[in-house]
Amino acid sequence: MKHQITYLHCGEHLIESLKDEIDEVLSVVNLIEWKKEFK
């Protein structure tokens, strides 16, 4: 699945402090076997 990550109103300090949590969510999303079409 193609995706783009955008952080709205987040400073670098906040992004860095949440890096582990963000990476954990992204790793789970990447484990999903995405289909080209939703049924």
> Which pLDDT tens digit goes with each residue over 9-26?
788 888 889 899 989 999
In a domain, 2, yes or no: yes
What are 4's two structure tokens?
Answer: 């783009």
34 in Cβ contact with 3 (< 8 Å):
no
In a domain, 23, yes or no: yes
Answer whether 0.75 is exceeded by the pTM.
no
The pLDDT of residue 1: 60
Domain that holds residue 12: 1-28
In a domain, 11, yes or no: yes
What are 32's two structure tokens?
Answer: 């999903």
